[in-house]
Structure formats: C-alpha cells, structure tokens
Structure 1
C-alpha cells in the first residue's frame, strides 16, 4: 500500500555541488514539443542501438561467522593471524585456536587469554600471561618473559618484526635480544618515550615501519629512522595515532590514521579521505592482500581495490561492528577478530546467471504462499536462520507476484527454459485468480475487480484485526482519505478464501505490466492468449464502467484506485500528487488492453482521455517531487512499469514524443540510484529525440550502472538493517522542507560524494520501491526477502541485449 505521497523539498549543502547529478527544475519537463522528431521504436525487443555491456564472471562477497559453537575457546577474539603455510589462527580471551577444515580447534596448551597474536618465524607469537609465547609445528614455547614489574610501567600493544622480534608498547619500541628485552635506542632518538606503538610492519628488504601515537616512522635497510610526512595534491599530513601500517606484495606502503588512508608507490603518495570515497576513518587495524587493502574500524570494515570501495558493517557482513584485527589469506579470504566471534568474507567467482538460479531456487523453496504461488518475503524464528520460515501476506501480493512473473516472462523469452514458462504461467494464473475470487459470496465485488491478496479460510480471521474500528481510527488520526470498509476481508463464494479489498493502483500497475509481457513473450497458443485477453478485458471493463475507478464491494472507489478525470483534473484534495502518475498508469492500462485484445473500445477510451481530458499532457510532470531524493519511490516503481507498456505499444509519433519527454527528466531524477529496473526500462523505451542542435538519447552509462548494481546485489536476502549516516563519504540532504519533514521522524538522507546513492550491498531493499536515499534502517534479521527484485531487471537486461554474459 502506498505510503504518504507528500514529500519535502531540500537544499543542498555547498559541498554537494561536486556531485554528478544536478537538481532538475520542473521546467525541464515543459519542453516545447511541436518541432521535435522521434525515431521509430523497435517494440518490446528494441535495444535502441545501445548494444550491451559484458558481464562475464566476477567476484562476490560471501560471509561466514564462527563462535564457540564452531570450536572457538571464546567468542571474545582479540586478534587474528595467517601464517606462511596459510593456517588461520585466532587469539581469544580463553586461549589460542587454529582453523581446520570448516571450524576452529582449540590449542589445549594455550588455554589462557591470548592477545597481540601475529605471524612470525613461520608460526605465531602472542602475549599470554607475563610471557611472549610462540606456537609452531605443534610446539608451544616461551620466547621471552616480561621483566618483573614491567607491566606496571609498560604495556605491550603489538608484536611483529623480521629476524628480530619487536615489541610495540605504550612507551616506545623494544626488541628481544637473547633472553632480554631492550629498548630500540635509535627509534628513541626520533620519538619520545610517550610514543605508543600501535602497528609494526616489515617488508622483504628489511624495511621497518611503525604506526604510533606521535607519527608514522620508517627505517629503510638499517638506515636511520625517518618521520614520514605524506603529501599529495592539496593534502600535506603529519599523521598521528597511526593505527595500521603494512607493506604489500608490490612494495607499496599503506597506513591508516585519523586524517584518512594513504599509500606510497615508489616515492609518490596517494591520500584518501571521505572526499576520495573513504567511508570511515576511526581505524583499528590494516591488512593487505594480493590486490586489495582492508581497514578495520570501530564501525565495520572497509576494502579498497583499484579505486573501488566496499564498506562491510552490520550482521550481513561482520559478527560485530568493532573490528579488532584483520588478516588476509593468500587465497583472498579475509578474517575479522571481534568481541562476538570470528568473521570471514570470501570472494567467490560467480555470474549473473548463477545468481539468478540461486534466487529462483530460493523462491521455490521458501517464498511461495498458497497453491497459487504468491511470492513474498517470509518471517524467521531466529535471525538469519532459514530452518523454520513463517509465510505471511502483504497488501501488495498482487504487485510483487506480478513483478516476479514479469521477470520469468523475460527469462523465458531470453532462454526458452520451460521452467521459466511454468513459473511465469503460475504467476499469471495467480493474477487471474485475484479477479475470480471477488465474484459472488455475501459481499461480491463488481465484475472485474481484483483483490489485493487472499488468505485460506482455515487460518486466522484477518477481520479480527482489519476491522471497522481500526479503519475509523486510521481515518481520524492518520489519513483523512483512508477508506472505511466492512468487511475488509470478504469470504469467497466457495467459502475457501478470504480476499482483501481496497485494491491499490500499485496492484494494477503490476498486473498490466505482467499482462502485456505474458501475452507477448510466453503465451504461445490460442488458449494461453485467450486467457490473457479474458483477464485484461474484464479488469479494463471494470475501470471504464466505473469512470476509470476501482470500485469495491461497497460500491465506492478504493483509496488509491482512482484514475477518473473528475478527480485527477478537478479535485484538488485528491489530485495534487496523483495527476501525473495516475494519468500515466491509466493510459498504460488502456494501451495494454488495446494491444492484447484488439478491441477498439479501449482505443476510443484512450483517445477520450488524451484529447478531452489531456492525460498525455498530465504525464509531462509524472512525478511530484522537489529534487533528487524526494518524492515517493513506490510511485517511481509504478511509473516505470507503466512507461514500458505505454511507450512500447504507442504508435502515434506525437504521443510517443510526449511520453519520451516525460520519461527523460523522470529518469534523470533517479539516475543516481543506479536502479537496474529503472535503467533498463528507460534504455529499452527511450528513442533519440532531435530538434536542430538538441539531441537526447539513452546514455550507455545507464547500462553500466545497472550492471554495477546487479553484480553487487548480495545473495544474502535477510533483513539485517544498515547504518550509513556516520560515513565520511556521504553528503547529507538537508535544509528547507527536509528540516520540517524527514528530521521530524529522525530520518537521515544523503548520497555519496561521487553523486550516487550507497551501493546495494551497503544498504538493504526488499523491492525497487525502497527509498535508497535513506541512510539508516533497523533490522533484526528475522525477515527473509525473496530475490525477485534481482530476477526482473536481470532477465529484462538479458532479453533486451543490454547484458552480454
């Protein structure tokens, strides 16, 4: 069901002027149309000359957590290390553990608290009690004992070194000399006794670098110490509180401090802050792999790889947000030490097709409700545990199942997989049932009225909750236009189903999107095509017979199913935010009906709305908004589905011109979202518009950005929640109506300094109606969402040739 459609305006901060996507004025929509030529369209399978973007195989992150249930002596893990033979070790408050197979094995001899674990000398060294211990080839040995009383004055903070074992402490650098611990005198010449050493790194040449509280220090090949002052461009840093240092395999020096992250290649520095895309800078650790650098922070972990950042926080990615230590295996696995166990992120080679098969299998296993196969998220008893699921209904089951079915229509057209046809047909029959089940019974709806969803009569009675008293209170306290109807869930004529009333425009947008696609791409014989024609005709007849409204069993229009000229063009209480979007939807419904049935009465109704009631003109301002990040994303999802049917089935060049002029600025408002569904619909519909020197066509970037999102779309569909408002690479949306509206409910919105919204694997969405400008969202891990939001754009892109696998 739609949420409130009135959205605020905002004012950008000065630093947002650097972003890629400027605000568009309403005037953008009001382009003079009489002299613009539009190229002919190519129908559903048009590629618009854009070609495709090669997808191929790529790496995706998958995470795994390890706790005491997986062999750790304790969930409180202080440090993690990988030895030269690839073995992973964890230091916990209850002892040392070694990873073996698929679990950790405690080392019986090391059963006390283990801290400052690090790889050294082919094994590991660590602090346990008052001694520095080593473990190698099954032998636990004392490397050296701390001097008596030493802990009263000096605390060990890290271990490291090459041939000699080095001890970083709260009072400088020490080393082991035989059976003694000695101060590293030459380091004392450049650093004060108060210098705390947080990190030690040594490369293959014997170069030594320290991250300390007072600076970043390096000693090359037994030469004197140098305090480093990295500088690049307008940056000139004197780092302090350097929490991480490392040399990588290419000899580059990396460090992390409160100013940001830096890397030295040869003699040249490159420095990164939030402006350059660094998500956060309260660092705890740093580690390098073959091609990537990982940063541990107090709120998650960060990977940097060839100019691309990945932010990994929350239970989707790590056991706890405070990353105590990081280690990277030679095979690319990254390990995290936290107070709630060990986390591992593996980069697995996959393809979009493999992701699609995974999500289709998951839907068939978990997400089908009732024999009709309505596709929807499910509840979980325990966070992330799919062993016991709890199916439930939603207000928009018809919409979500239609969009799933639409994806399978594209799948069948692109692959000719008979299983895709079965899935698409099941979804189409489910939509047919929604307008079957409303007929007859004690509270029959008018012919052609589709229900929102259904529940079996054997279960709970939904009218116990959705009753008149609740409706009256909602109308009084929340929404003056809320519909009071009783019963909200009538019983079907056969007594087997409750069906839900007050059907929304959301449902119709999804239904008609599926109707046209199933008819064109899946229905292969007259029986299948006749079934679609019958459903389309009865729903469309209902709308025309009731002055372009959905009329419920009480004889009154539903809350949102209103498309009549008297409301959209003359009722200011209703039409303010709906004139454009509902005009667009109604025209699309009629065009689908004309195409599927061939009945001229639908074309006549269409022409009446266009010529007498200016519905085509209404579409020129389809979205009520006040700039990027405003408006209602449910409307966006509905609008783009409506554009697809309307533009692909419209043969009148002048009307197509209207719709294309409507589509271009609409897409520019959502371009920063990198939404693959919106981008592929836009690219498949948009012809080149030319007028003199004016020329607009769909940019290839629309395909590239769609592919970016599909590649990073996580297989983990558990609703874990997310938090991004603290990030340094975020530009908040603020000012104007923002102060009065979003902040009223504690909402925080923003976008990356690059001009895009946060990547899909760093927030969470169930459907494409998600407000991706929102920076924070709670989640308890007890919802498992389906992958239909991946399948629809993927198969659409594949069918249109936008994806080349």
Structure 2
C-alpha cells in the first residue's frame, strides 16, 4: 500500500509539461545610499554635479563636498580652494567650474580659466557648448566669452523667483516668476509666459525645453516656443524641482521623491527611505553608466541599474536569509536597533515562525528538486527539524507550538508562552490554522522532493500523523494547554457550518482539513483519515463548502464577515497544494481544480507569482505567467521594511471603501509599495515599519523555486 501511494503521489505532483518562460536578463534597479560625514551634519545642499572623471560633487553652505567610496565628505583636494566660499558650481566639457564671490575659475586646462568679477555680484551661472558663460545676479546678468574674456552686462528682467539657467543650442533660458526668457544677443527676451503657474525648473534636451511647475510639467519647442506637450498632471507628485532628460526617458525630481518617465510610457517612482535619504529632491545627475545620483535635503543616493536574471536575484535573497535570518532552523525576522542598519540586527521570534519557516523549507525543497544542490537539501532538513520540534516541545502530543526560544528571551506576545519541564525553553501556544497549513504544505513538498529514503519519509509521516491524530482525537480542534480550542484552530462541522456561505472561513477551513486528511492518508495509508474526509465531504457538506464560489463572499453581519481577508488567500492557495495533488480520485480532483480556478479568477489582478504557479500546477494554461514574472522582477532587493506612502499620488485612481480594501485601481509594483509577505494586501497604499526590521526573502524564493520546479520558469 505504501509503495502504491508513493507512485500515485509522484504521478499527480509531477511538474507541468507545457512551455514556460526563459529566465532572460532584465534591468534591476536598487539604491546605494551615501553616508554623510559628521562635518556635514546640518548642511544645506543645493547642487549636484559629476565631472568627466566620475567624481561626484555636492555644493553645500558648508562648502564643496565630494564622495569617497560611499561617504560624502568636504572636499579638501585642492588646497587653494578648500576653504573658499563657493557660491555655485558648473560644468564645461565635463570639467568642474567654481563660482566664488569675486571670480569664476576651473582647475581644467592647467588653470587658465580664471575670470575676475565684481564682488558678490553674481550667484549662479551656466556655460554652453560654445564656451559662453551666463552669470546671473540680482541686479544684472553677465555674458562672458571664456575664450576671449570679453564680458557684456545684460539687463535683468523684473521678478523675484528665478530658476537655474539652462544652456540650449547657442542660447540660454531662465525663468523668472511665471515667464521664461531667452538670452541670445543683447538682452533677455520673453520667450514663453506661463499664466497660471510659477516655474520651478527648466531643462533642455534637443529639441525640447522642459518646464516644471508646482502643478506638473510641460514641454516647448526650444526654437519656436510652441508648446509640444501639454501640462502633465497625472504624476506621482506634481511639484517639480528638477529634470534630467536621459536615454531611459525623463527623470523628474519633486518635493516628494523622484520618478523616471520612461520612453515606453511607464513610470518608475523612487520615494521613501528604501530609495532616498528623504523625499525632497534638490538635484539629480547621471553618471557615465546610466545610474542616477539624487541629492535630497539630507543626503545623497544613487539609483543604480544592472542586468540580472531571476536566478541571480534568488541568490541575493538566499545570501540575506542564510547570513542574517536563521534561528535554530527557523526562518526568522530580524529586528534592527538602528533603522536600516542590518549590522544592528537581532533575530527574534514571531507569531508565525512555523508558517514562514515552512514556506522557506518548501523553497529549499523545490531548489533541491531542480538543482540537486546538497546545500538546499541540508537547509530543508534543518528547517524541517525546527518544525518537527515545534510539535515535540509541547507537552500535548500532536499540538505544534507557534514558536520556541531559549527561556527568558521570548519577544512577541509574551503572555502566550509556556516553559518546558526542564525550564530551558519557552514555547508559544494559541496555534492557529496558519501554522497547520504551513506544516501540511511544507511536509507535502518535502515528501515529494527531498525525502529519498524510507527513514526520511517516515519522519514526515510520523509528525503528520501526530498532528492529524491530535485534531481527530479532539473533534477537529487544536486544543491548547488550557484544555480549550485555540481561537483559529477549528475545523469541526459545528463550528464551520454555522458560518454563513458569504464568509470565507467556511470554505477555507474545509479546504484546509480535507487537503490535510488526503495527504495524511496518501503517505500513511491509514483508513481513518480517508474515512473522516469522506464523512466531512458527504455527510457534513464540506464538498459544498469547498465548491462555494469566492464570488459569494461579501460583507456579512458576522464577526468574520466585515472584510476580505488577504491572509486567508495565502492560506487557501497553500492548502490547495494538498487539496488538488492528493485528491482521492479524479472526480474530486476535477472539482478541486474548478474551485481553485474560481479563486484565482478573482485574485489574478494581484499578479501574485505564488498564486499563479499553484494554479498552474493544476494544469491550468491561462495562468498569468507574465504577471508572475513582472512581480518577481519588480521585487525590491532591499528587504528592510521601510515606511512607504502612496495615497497622495496623483497618478493613481483612488477607489471608495470596499469589501476587498482595494485602495486604488492600479496595482503598484512591489518596489513602490510597502514590503509585505503574500498574506498582505498589495493594493494597500501606505504602511511599513520605518526601517526597524528586515524581512527574510522567502517571499521571493518560494514562488521562484516553485516556478522552476513546475517549469514555468526555465
């Protein structure tokens, strides 16, 4: 019987056979943040430039600074200039120019560029490709021919607010209040009046002059003044501070982050401390490799780009997880004492150590099945041992703890813990269906992929039997140390069948227990599990519960019916693995495929790779492979849980309050929303933990390796 069951399992869980997607390189963006040296603490930054040698310069009211490694420090490279009061910086032919109160100079060309000026008369300048410099002051402008030294004073147009000057095709442009002036000849001439908005930024890229305002941006033909792009307002944020046209598209700095408007029409938004020191962008500058340096009020960051495959990305998360998140085999969260500083991290217990660790264990099991890597096999068994001990550490046979820790070091929910008899350990009770689903899913994947010997399989059989026997012995409840059912460990008919069909728990818990009974029967051959499953399916209506359409869920006057529970989506899809692959017969398997399809049709807008690949494992051909790959590629490399806000964005269509708590019509990419596991709502616009924790990365690893195992990704 046991041998027959193994053969059936192998058949039903073999990878899908239709073609997947090649793991082709894509462009991965990530942020490198520069430490600001203590000598610049409190400095006001105003300008950012990169010279032809790749040296990054920043102008501050403390002096000129530059980067050394990943630190921004005051620049003392040139002793005669180090302590001088620098009013502004500029570039000509890639060389740095300094504007001091009484002179404009450069170290380029053996220092031959040196022009004396009236003291403190001019405070800004720009140099065009012809070697003409336009200097701006509060009283007049000055046009300087750098080859001859000839100077010509130009009248300054009236007005208060002035933009930085822009050089373009032999002319200069500057905005004063709401008018753009063109300087080409004897005096500045009005070029374009902006009647309703004050101009905040200008930039030139042939043939367009980009114009930023407090309400968006537009573009003009730089020669004729014709408006060639209307005012763009559907933007992440409208108050523009600077532009950088590039081959990628138009980079736009704002008072709430920066964004790249790609030539394809897509928008990449960079805001929050995941990307920037703060969100008020002062200036931007590209380097020779296409990376973008962004200067904010409090510091400097580089948005870097590199080609990467999903396999390389998986290795990135694997390194983070293995080096910073393994606690006695658990895949554990790290608490950071200093926001964003992973060196200050300490691994702590969580409410769902069992679930998250089971998902990581499954990822390593799939990795072993795909690659044969012995380290993956070793890692999977290491985590299995932790899950196995969750059950053995409690004094209640078959009742798994949520977590355990050495006595005296429990972290979360301290009132839920109990000491072991030897007083060496604490274990956490109130175990929920989350842990149960994690155990069954993880054990099923382990049995299919990693357990190669009778002894290894028996370990999985034994712990599964103990958990299932506890549930059967206690009338389909998890019974805690107080002798009472836990709040969320309930699968009995008297509990579930008193929940309305319009509430998801009735369907979900039926899926969970039937899938688990099927799996327990398949690996043990014990008829008690099969008998109980059919009793629930037929006599108690669990098949009807399972087949209840997700479209029926709605607000219901019931303690569990006030909103859509996205955590339940995660539990359902994980439970579908055992429900479908271990179905007792083809008829049930077909029905289960239909109910999984019903659920996926609602969830497909989330482009969730885990949901998609579990759905694909049923043989479904309409799963959203492109959406799954998009989510994996857009997953942020930074696993620190930063606070992220998007509800203020002007490029989103906000929705009224609704049952699913979908806050916007548009689905933002993972690197623009708060970091979350698959139990989170991807349409939540605001949230995060202000940088005080680092997530583990199993959220990426499980769908990636499952996709590889199923040959969705090749």
TM-score, normalised on structure 2? Answer: 0.86
**Residue of structure 1 equivalent to 2:25:** 57
SS in 1 for 2:487: strand
Please tell me whether the aligned partners of residues 142 and 151 of structure 2 are also in contact (alpha carbons under 8 angstroms). no
Please tell me whether the aligned partners of residues 172 and 195 of structure 1 are also in contact (alpha carbons under 8 angstroms). no
- Distance (whole Å) between structure 2 residues aligned to residue 677 and residue 361 of structure 1: 21
Please tell me whether the aligned partners of residues 640 and 692 of structure 2 are also in contact (alpha carbons under 8 angstroms). yes
Which residue of the other structure, out of 311, 314, 325, is the alignment partner of 1:353?
311
**Residue of structure 2 equivalent to 1:334:** 292
Which residue of the other structure, out of 338, 351, 369, is the alignment partner of 1:382?
338
Which residue of the other structure, out of 117, 133, 144, is the alignment partner of 1:145?
117
- Distance (whole Å) between structure 2 residues aligned to residue 255 and residue 794 of structure 1: 43
In the superposition, relative to structure 1, how do residues 221 and 309 fare at CA in structure 2: closer, same or farther (>3 Å)? farther
**Residue of structure 1 equivalent to 2:126:** 159
- Distance (whole Å) between structure 1 residues aligned to residue 45 and residue 274 of structure 2: 19
In the superposition, relative to structure 1, how do residues 756 and 509 fare at CA in structure 2: closer, same or farther (>3 Å)? farther
**Residue of structure 2 equivalent to 1:767:** 677
Aligned length: 686
SS in 2 for 1:570: coil
For each residue in 1:606-633, what CA deviation from the matched residue of structure 2 results, as whole angstroms up to 9, or x when unmatched? 1111111221221224584569x95122
**Residue of structure 2 equivalent to 1:528:** 456
What's the CA shift for 1:576?
4.5
Which residue of the other structure, out of 555, 566, 582, is the alignment partner of 1:649?
582
In the superposition, relative to structure 1, how do residues 404 and 209 fare at CA in structure 2: closer, same or farther (>3 Å)? same
Q: Within 5 A, what are the aligned runs for 1:244-643?
A: 244-248=201-205, 254-262=210-218, 269=228, 273=232, 275=234, 278-305=235-262, 306-370=264-328, 373-438=329-394, 444-445=395-396, 447-457=397-407, 459-460=408-409, 466-467=414-415, 488-570=416-498, 576-619=503-546, 620-622=548-550, 624-625=553-554, 631-643=564-576
For each residue in 1:665-698, what CA deviation from the matched residue of structure 2 results, as whole angstroms up to 9, or x when unmatched? 42233333222222222232353xxxxxxxxx52
Please tell me whether the aligned partners of residues 78 and 91 of structure 1 are also in contact (alpha carbons under 8 angstroms). yes
In the superposition, relative to structure 1, how do residues 735 and 505 fare at CA in structure 2: closer, same or farther (>3 Å)? closer
- Distance (whole Å) between structure 2 residues aligned to residue 616 and residue 157 of structure 1: 76
Q: Within 5 A, what are the aligned runs for 1:769-788?
A: 769-788=679-698
**Residue of structure 2 equivalent to 1:37:** none
Which residue of the other structure, out of 683, 697, 700, is the alignment partner of 1:790?
700
Which residue of the other structure, out of 64, 67, 81, is the alignment partner of 1:96?
64
SS in 2 for 1:777: coil
In the superposition, relative to structure 1, how do residues 364 and 166 fare at CA in structure 2: closer, same or farther (>3 Å)? same
Please tell me whether the aligned partners of residues 172 and 193 of structure 1 are also in contact (alpha carbons under 8 angstroms). no
**Residue of structure 2 equivalent to 1:106:** 75
- Distance (whole Å) between structure 1 residues aligned to residue 125 and residue 14 of structure 2: 61
**Residue of structure 2 equivalent to 1:198:** 163
What's the CA shift for 1:795?
0.7
Q: Within 5 A, what are the aligned runs for 1:742-753?
A: 750-751=663-664
Please tell me whether the aligned partners of residues 431 and 478 of structure 2 are also in contact (alpha carbons under 8 angstroms). yes
**Residue of structure 2 equivalent to 1:117:** 89
Question: Structure with the greater relative contact order (CA < 8 A, sep ≥ 6): 1 or 2?
Answer: 1
- Distance (whole Å) between structure 2 residues aligned to residue 462 and residue 331 of structure 1: 45
- Distance (whole Å) between structure 2 residues aligned to residue 726 and residue 524 of structure 1: 54
- Distance (whole Å) between structure 1 residues aligned to residue 231 and residue 580 of structure 2: 45
Q: CA-atom RMSD, angstroms?
A: 3.5
For each residue in 1:31-86, what CA deviation from the matched residue of structure 2 results, as whole angstroms up to 9, or x when unmatched? xxxxxxxxxx983344373x322332222223223344298697532110122343
- Distance (whole Å) between structure 2 residues aligned to residue 757 and residue 113 of structure 1: 49
Question: Would you say 1:728 and 2:650 are equivalent positions?
Answer: yes
SS in 2 for 1:794: helix
Q: Mean Cα displacement is larger for which, 97-106 or 80-89?
A: 97-106
- Distance (whole Å) between structure 1 residues aligned to residue 374 and residue 215 of structure 2: 57
- Distance (whole Å) between structure 1 residues aligned to residue 56 and residue 490 of structure 2: 62
**Residue of structure 1 equivalent to 2:608:** 675
SS in 1 for 2:58: strand
Question: Would you say 1:43 and 2:7 are equivalent positions?
Answer: no
Please tell me whether the aligned partners of residues 79 and 115 of structure 1 are also in contact (alpha carbons under 8 angstroms). no
- Distance (whole Å) between structure 2 residues aligned to residue 387 and residue 397 of structure 1: 22
Please tell me whether the aligned partners of residues 171 and 194 of structure 1 are also in contact (alpha carbons under 8 angstroms). no
In the superposition, relative to structure 1, how do residues 201 and 594 fare at CA in structure 2: closer, same or farther (>3 Å)? farther
In the superposition, relative to structure 1, how do residues 115 and 460 fare at CA in structure 2: closer, same or farther (>3 Å)? same
SS in 2 for 1:354: helix
- Distance (whole Å) between structure 2 residues aligned to residue 734 and residue 656 of structure 1: 39
Q: Mean Cα displacement is larger for which, 128-137 or 289-298?
A: 128-137
SS in 1 for 2:387: helix
SS in 2 for 1:641: helix
Please tell me whether the aligned partners of residues 144 and 150 of structure 2 are also in contact (alpha carbons under 8 angstroms). yes
Please tell me whether the aligned partners of residues 154 and 186 of structure 2 are also in contact (alpha carbons under 8 angstroms). no
- Distance (whole Å) between structure 2 residues aligned to residue 379 and residue 94 of structure 1: 36
TM-score, normalised on structure 1? Answer: 0.77
- Distance (whole Å) between structure 1 residues aligned to residue 185 and residue 515 of structure 2: 73
In the superposition, relative to structure 1, how do residues 406 and 216 fare at CA in structure 2: closer, same or farther (>3 Å)? farther
What's the CA shift for 1:201?
3.4
- Distance (whole Å) between structure 1 residues aligned to residue 220 and residue 373 of structure 2: 52
**Residue of structure 2 equivalent to 1:698:** 622
- Distance (whole Å) between structure 1 residues aligned to residue 185 and residue 591 of structure 2: 71
Q: Mean Cα displacement is larger for which, 505-514 or 546-555?
A: 546-555
SS in 1 for 2:314: helix
Q: Mean Cα displacement is larger for which, 399-408 or 637-646?
A: 637-646
- Distance (whole Å) between structure 2 residues aligned to residue 658 and residue 308 of structure 1: 40
Please tell me whether the aligned partners of residues 236 and 650 of structure 2 are also in contact (alpha carbons under 8 angstroms). yes
What's the CA shift for 1:768?
1.4
Gaps of 5+ in 1: 1-40, 230-236, 439-443, 468-487, 688-696, 743-748
In the superposition, relative to structure 1, how do residues 607 and 299 fare at CA in structure 2: closer, same or farther (>3 Å)? same
What's the CA shift for 1:336?
1.8
SS in 2 for 1:803: coil
Gaps of 5+ in 2: 1-9, 557-561
For each residue in 1:604-659, what CA deviation from the matched residue of structure 2 results, as whole angstroms up to 9, or x when unmatched? 221111111221221224584569x9512211111110112212222544433433
In the superposition, relative to structure 1, how do residues 54 and 114 fare at CA in structure 2: closer, same or farther (>3 Å)? farther
What's the CA shift for 1:405?
0.5
- Distance (whole Å) between structure 1 residues aligned to residue 679 and residue 701 of structure 2: 15
- Distance (whole Å) between structure 2 residues aligned to residue 715 and residue 736 of structure 1: 32
In the superposition, relative to structure 1, how do residues 194 and 252 fare at CA in structure 2: closer, same or farther (>3 Å)? closer
- Distance (whole Å) between structure 1 residues aligned to residue 476 and residue 74 of structure 2: 68
**Residue of structure 1 equivalent to 2:4:** none
- Distance (whole Å) between structure 1 residues aligned to residue 681 and residue 465 of structure 2: 34
